Amino acid sequence: MNDEINPEILKLSKVLATGKEPPTDLGEWDAGDDDDPIPPRQWLLGNVFCRRFVSSLIADGGTGKTALRVAQALALATGRNLTGEHVFQRCRVLLISLEDDKDELRRRVKAAMFHHDISEADVKGWLFLAAPGGKAGKLMTLDTKGRPTIASLAATLKQTIQRRNIDVVCLDPFVKTHGLSENDNNQMDQVIELLANLAIEMNIAVDVPHHTAKGGATPGNADRGRGASAIKDGGRLVYTLTTMSEDEAERFGVPLADRRLYVRMDSGKVNITPPATAAKWFKLTSVALGNGNDLYPAGDYVQTVEPWAAPGTWEGLTDDLVNRILTDIDAGMPDGERYSDAGAATTRAAWKVVQKHAAKKTEKQCREIVAIWVKEGLLLKETYHSPVARKDREGLHVDDMKRPGKVT
C-alpha cells in the first residue's frame, strides 16, 4: 500500500473551505519584536477540553467511556458542574455517535439528564446530537491509488460546526471516523492533523474517544490505545479510564463485588502510573428511563456517571488542596531541613503539614495519607545534608509528574 501524502493534505485549509491557497511562507516572526500579551489557553471543562486542542479518552469496552463523555457534554451545555470538573464557559456541544444508532444515543443522553435533573429546556440550543451511521462517510479514506485522502465527513462536519456555532465536538469512537489503517503511523498522523487543524481554524475543542488494545489496563498508560502511537501522540489532552482494581477497592473500603462500578480517569500524557489518590474518580449508576410498554413493561436501564470521592481519609482532598500540601512538603522547612515520613519524626513530621491544610483530619489519617503518597511514588525519599544536624539525612521530595491534575 502506498502511504505517500496525497497532495490534498497539503491543501488542508482549502479543503476545509477557507477558500484560500496555502501560504507561500511560514509566517515566521522575530522573537525580539514579540512584546504583545500572550493569551491564556482557552480551557472549557477542567483540564479535559480546551479550544484549539484535540482530546481523547482511552478505555476498555464497558468501562463507562461514553457515559462519562455524555455527562461532560451536559456539564458544558448547561454550565453546571456535573462531573466534579470546573466549567469555565457554557458551550454549544455537538455529540456525534458513530457507533450507536439514534435511539441508543437518545437513551444515553436522557439517562444522564434524568439523573442530573436536567430538562429539555436546559439544553435547547446548547446540546446537539447526531448518529449518522455510514451515510456520513469518513474524515479520510484511501483513494484508488491507496493514498490517504480527505473524505465527505470533513466538509459536513465543518458546515455543521459553523451552522450550529459549536464550541466542542465529540466524535465517538475515533476508529469510526476514518477508513485508514489504524496501525499505520503515517496515516493516523494525517487524521489527527486534520482534526487539529479543524480545532485551530474553528477555535473549538475536538474530542475523539478511543478503544484500547488487548492486554492489561494500566491507569495513565496512553499506549493502551489501539493502533499506531501517532493517535495518542497527536492529542494534547489524552486521558485513560480504568476500572477500580481489587487493591484500590480494599484501600477505599469498596466491596469487591461493586468495584466495577467505580472508574478512575488519569492523564495519559505522563509516562508513569499516577497514584490512585491523585486520580479523578467516577461512579457508574443505572438509571431507569421509564419507557416501558406492553411488551417490555420494565423499560430500559441505562448507565450514567457521577463524581465520586474516596471516603474517610481521602474525603475532601481536592486536587487544589493536595497540590498545596505537596508544595509545602517539597519546599521543606525554614531552617533547611526536609520533612520526613518516619514514625518517630517530630518537628520534621510530614503528616503535620497535611493536618495544617486539612485541620479536620486526625493524626492517623494524615499519617496514612503520607504513607500512601510515599508508596505510590508521589513523595520520594532522597538523601540530603542536614544544615542543623550537620549530617546526611533522608527527606521527602515531590515527584511533580505525579501531581493530581498534571497536564503536559
Instruction: Calculate the alpha carbon distances from 131 to 60, 68, 135, 150, 287 in Å.
Output: 21, 18, 10, 21, 22
Task: State the pLDDT at residue 274.
Answer: 54
User: Do residues 204 and 167 lie in contact, with contact meaning Cβ atoms separated by under 8 Å?
Assistant: yes
What is the reported pLDDT for 248?
A: 83
Cell of 87: 466549567
Tell me the pTM.
Answer: 0.75
For residue 58, report the phi and psi dihedrals to the nearest 5 degrees. Answer: -100, 125
Q: Where are the CATH 3.40.50.300 domain residues in the chain?
A: 9-21+41-309
Q: Which CATH architecture has domain 319-402?
A: Orthogonal Bundle (1.10)
Beta strands in 98-211 (DSSP E): 127-130, 140-142, 148-150, 168-172, 205-207, 210-211
Contacts of 257 (CB under 8 A, 6+ apart): none
User: In angstroms, rounded to a whole number, what is the distance separating the alpha carbons of residues 91 and 105?
Assistant: 20
Burial 254-280 (b: 16+ CB within 10 A, else e): beeeebebbbbbbbbbbeebbbbbbbb
The single-letter code of the amino acid at 128 is F
286: nearest Cα among 81, 107, 82, 49 = 107
Say what the pLDDT of residue 1 is. Answer: 47
Between CA 150 and CA 16 the distance in angstroms is: 9
Cα 158 to Cα 175: distance, rounded to the nearest angstrom: 19
pLDDT by residue for the chain (408 residues), tens only, comes to 455 555 555 555 455 544 556 667 888 999 999 999 999 999 999 889 999 999 999 998 889 999 999 999 999 999 999 999 999 999 999 999 999 999 999 999 999 999 999 999 999 999 999 999 888 899 999 998 889 999 999 999 999 999 999 999 999 999 999 988 888 889 989 999 999 999 999 999 999 998 876 655 667 666 666 665 666 677 778 899 999 998 888 877 789 999 999 999 988 865 445 556 567 899 999 999 999 999 999 999 999 999 998 777 888 888 889 999 999 999 999 999 999 999 999 999 999 999 999 998 888 889 989 998 998 899 999 999 999 989 999 999 999 988 887 644
User: Which ranges of 49-90 does DSSP label H, i.e. alpha helix?
Assistant: 65-78
Give first-to-last CA distance, the chain, whole Å. Answer: 35
Rounded CA separation 66/207 (Å): 12
**CATH 1.10.10 domain locations along the chain:** 319-402
Strand-pairing partners, residue 284, are 305
CATH 3.60.110.10 fits 9-21+41-309, yes or no: no
> How far, in Å, CA of 190 to CA of 180, rounded?
10
Rg of the chain, C-alpha, whole Å = 24
What is the predicted pLDDT for the residue at 13?
45
Site of grid cell 493502533: 227
